């Protein structure tokens, strides 16, 4: 596979970062993740000066606490929009943080993890969760906790591509691997391959199912560089895993758009999803996944200039947020459905920024939706129109 990102990609996805073989732009490390815990406290994980740092807020993001360093010894940390530190909570107040650590060779990395069992006051020594320690891509980690309290981690991995190249065989893209912990992150199971031929640098979306499993939605590679998406359950019982094609846009491009999807699963099991493609004009799509078949109720949410969408669902309400580039700079946009995703209202501008911004993240608190948005001027938590 050629490792040069086509010029076309830079035109249709202005916020896309370079993929293997090109220089990564230098910009402020704005990649951050936010989440509400069971008590409604907001937590924010980002990176600064070689540390993953954790802050919290009891006033919906208006003020943030002094940061706690998750890793006491500084190390390189990926902290861009698609490859940012992650955080999740266990059923008994455990606080879990993961991140990708760059290695010496370009585009390589290890997936790192640390936990706090005392409410974020102290963290365990960071560990690398995968047993394969080759200096290749283990990056773009995704973190979730299943209904049994297992810590589940998935990432993009190039061990199979490296093995194929060593054997003189072709191999498109990377692969998705995952692991889990049955003891609150003290130890991790040997990693398992979830799917071969994934995109190399698009984030993986994880979401909990009503049955308590963790589902993954990610950009895969089909045929001769068709960059569509796949859906799979991350089995933690030793059973066989199967990733099924879930979008059929047919976007043919010999490069990674650095533009991962979003997934939110409703209480009734409906798999709400957003994804980006540019087989015609650049478009953010919404649809309800039917693995193995085309998504139901698929509809364009936003067009040229839109990027990095996320979504949330509560009852019949579905929210979609994204970044939008226009003549005034960066805008944070929102659309809402009140009928379970069958129809969406008009786009609404929530905020603007003159400088760089990170990918937005939709959060739920007591059935209300908020958008976490990290910008060059600071972290912001914005209420949607549903909040008083």
Residues 132-164: b if buried by 16+ CB within 10 A, e if exposed: eeeebbbbbbbbbbbeeebbbbbbbbbbbbbee
Q: Which residue has the higher pLDDT, 169 or 5?
A: 169
Q: In whole angstroms, what is the distance from residue 148 CA to residue 26 CA?
A: 41
Q: In whole angstroms, what is the distance from residue 256 CA to residue 241 CA?
A: 24
At 387 the pLDDT is 52
pLDDT higher than threshold 90 for residue 190: yes
Structure tokens, 34: 């936010």
Q: Which residue has the higher pLDDT, 82 or 232?
A: 232
Q: In whole angstroms, what is the distance from residue 323 CA to residue 340 CA?
A: 23
pLDDT higher than threshold 80 for residue 8: no
pLDDT digits (tens, 9 = 90+) for 132-146: 999 999 999 999 999
Report the candidate in 127, 143, 236 with the shortest Cα–Cα distance to residue 191.
236
pLDDT higher than threshold 50 for residue 4: no
pLDDT higher than threshold 70 for residue 27: no
What is the arrangement of strands in the sheet containing 214-219, beginning at the earlier edge strand?
A: 205-208, 214-219, 229-233, 244-245
Strands (E), 84-147: 86-89, 95-102, 109-116, 127-128, 138-145
pLDDT digits (tens, 9 = 90+) for 206-256: 999 999 999 999 999 999 999 999 999 999 998 899 999 999 999 999 888
At 16 the pLDDT is 32
Average pLDDT score over residue span 181-193: 98
CA distances 146 to 34, 175, 388, Å, are: 18, 22, 32
Assign residue 238 a region: left if phi > 0, alpha if psi is -120 to 50, beta otherwise? left
At 9 the pLDDT is 38
Report the candidate in 180, 177, 171 with the shortest Cα–Cα distance to residue 195.
177
- Mean pLDDT over each residue of the chain, to the nearest integer: 91
At 18 the pLDDT is 33
At 135 the pLDDT is 97
At 128 the pLDDT is 98
Domains of the chain (ranges plus CATH)?
7-383 (2.120.10.10)
Q: Work out whether the CA dihedral 243, 237, 140, 106 comes out positive or negative.
A: negative
pLDDT digits (tens, 9 = 90+) for 256-313: 889 999 999 999 999 999 999 998 889 999 999 999 999 999 999 999 999 999 999 9
Average pLDDT score over residue span 192-200: 96
Average pLDDT score over residue span 76-105: 96
How far from the centroid of its chain's Cα atoms is residue 103's Cα? 21
Q: In whole angstroms, what is the distance from residue 350 CA to residue 22 CA?
A: 34
CB atoms within 10 A of CB 296: 13
Average pLDDT score over residue span 104-119: 97
Q: In whole angstroms, what is the distance from residue 384 CA to residue 370 CA?
A: 6
Beta strand pairing status for 317-326 and 33-36? unpaired
At 386 the pLDDT is 57
At 328 the pLDDT is 81
Burial class (CB in 10 A: 0-12, 13-18, 19+), 319: buried
At 283 the pLDDT is 95
Contact 3, 20 (CB under 8 A): yes
At 256 the pLDDT is 85
Beta strand pairing status for 229-233 and 214-219? antiparallel
Q: In whole angstroms, what is the distance from residue 272 CA to residue 352 CA?
A: 27
Burial class (CB in 10 A: 0-12, 13-18, 19+), 304: middle
At 19 the pLDDT is 34
């Amino acid at each position: 596979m050629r490792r040069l990102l086509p010029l076309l990609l830079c035109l249709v996805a202005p916020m896309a970062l370079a993929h293997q073989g090109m220089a990564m732009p230098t910009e402020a490390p704005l990649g951050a993740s936010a989440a509400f815990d069971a008590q409604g406290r907001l937590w924010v994980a980002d990176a600064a000066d070689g540390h993953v740092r954790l802050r919290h807020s009891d006033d919906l993001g208006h003020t943030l606490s002094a940061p706690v360093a998750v890793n006491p010894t500084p190390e390189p940390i990926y902290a861009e929009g698609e490859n940012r530190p992650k955080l999740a909570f266990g059923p008994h107040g455990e606080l879990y943080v993961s991140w990708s650590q760059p290695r010496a060779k370009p585009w390589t990395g290890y997936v790192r993890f640390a936990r706090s069992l005392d409410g974020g006051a102290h963290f365990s020594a960071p560990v690398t969760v995968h047993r394969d320690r080759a200096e290749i891509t283990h990056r773009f980690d995704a973190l979730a906790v299943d209904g049994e309290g297992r810590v589940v981690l998935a990432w993009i991995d190039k061990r199979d591509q490296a093995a194929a190249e060593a054997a003189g065989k072709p191999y498109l893209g990377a692969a998705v691997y995952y692991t889990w912990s049955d003891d609150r992150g003290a130890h991790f199971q040997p990693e398992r391959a979830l799917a071969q031929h994934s995109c190399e640098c698009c984030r993986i979306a994880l979401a909990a199912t009503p049955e308590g499993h963790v589902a993954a939605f990610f950009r895969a590679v089909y045929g001769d560089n068709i960059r569509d998406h796949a859906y799979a359950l991350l089995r933690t019982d030793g059973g066989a895993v199967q990733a099924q094609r879930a979008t059929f846009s047919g976007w043919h491009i010999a490069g990674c758009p650095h533009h991962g999807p979003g997934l939110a699963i409703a209480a009734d099991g409906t798999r709400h999803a957003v994804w980006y493609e540019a087989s015609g004009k650049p478009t953010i799509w919404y649809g309800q996944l039917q693995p193995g078949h085309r998504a139901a109720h698929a509809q364009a949410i936003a067009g040229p200039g839109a990027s990095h969408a996320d979504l949330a669902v509560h009852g019949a309400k579905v929210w979609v947020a994204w970044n939008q580039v226009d003549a005034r700079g960066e805008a944070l946009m929102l659309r809402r459905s009140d009928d379970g995703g069958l129809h969406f209202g008009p786009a609404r501008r929530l905020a603007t920024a003159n400088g760089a911004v990170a990918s937005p993240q939709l959060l739920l608190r007591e059935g209300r939706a908020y958008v976490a948005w990290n910008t060059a001027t600071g972290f912001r938590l914005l209420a949607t129109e549903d909040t008083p």
